[in-house]
Amino acid sequence: MPLIKSINNITPKILEGVFLADNAVVIGDVIIGKQSSVWYNTVIRGDVNSIIIGNSVNIQDGVVVHCTYKETKTIIGDNVSIGHNAIIHGCEIKNNVLIGMGAIIMDDVIIEENSIIAAGAILTKGTYVKSGSLFAGVPAKFKRSLSKQEIDNSIIKTAENYKKYLSWYN
């Protein structure tokens, strides 16, 4: 059974149709939107600031979502896929974004819609990712603009696949 824990009298709000894996942890000032999925060994820790997760978001196995006390919130838009073992910290991720496995997204990063962050990329504090971009590397840098086909076949398809997987568990 997932651990859903109140802290400082604030209880996570989990909207309808959300899948929480048996060992997922959701703490404090967190909202998880409709039809989202939080997979195995994931920790979403809204103990020091708020975390808002949109609709149809998939947060894959081993991800950590956190923020910075009195400084940065974490805001994740709709149809976002966050790959296994990524770290999402005090940033804003807009709609239709794919975060690759093991990526690290730091405080004050803004990732605009229809963008891909490559597996293993590290976006340092304050990085701005323009809509339709591919960022990769350590530290992550702009590599190129994405084609409509890449957006459809990678970002949209991954989000759609996770909606299908969600249906297997709910």
Contact 131, 113 (CB under 8 A): yes
Structural class in CATH, domain 3-169 = mainly beta
Q: How confident is the model at residue 6 (pLDDT cuts 50, 70, 90)?
A: very high
Q: Where are the domains of the chain?
A: 3-169
| Average pLDDT estimate for 70-86 | 97
Rounded CA-CA distance 132/112 in Å is 8
Sorting pLDDT into bands at 50, 70 and 90, what band is 170? confident
The band of 58, judged by pLDDT with boundaries at 50, 70 and 90, is: very high
Beta strands, E only, the chain: 3-5, 13-14, 19-20, 25-32, 37-38, 43-53, 58-59, 64-66, 74-76, 81-82, 87-89, 92-93, 97-99, 104-105, 110-111, 115-117, 122-123, 128-129, 133-137, 140-145
Q: What is the pLDDT of residue 68?
A: 96
pLDDT per position as a tens digit, 121-135? 999 999 999 999 999
- Terminal CA-to-CA distance of the chain, rounded, Å? 13
Report the pLDDT value the prediction gives residue 101, as an integer from 0 to 100: 98
Mean pLDDT in residue range 159-164: 94
pLDDT score, position 129: 98
pLDDT digits (tens, 9 = 90+) for 21-36: 999 999 999 999 999 9
Q: What would you report as the CA-atom Rg of the chain, rounded to the nearest whole angstrom?
A: 15
Q: Give percent of the chain above pLDDT 90.
A: 97
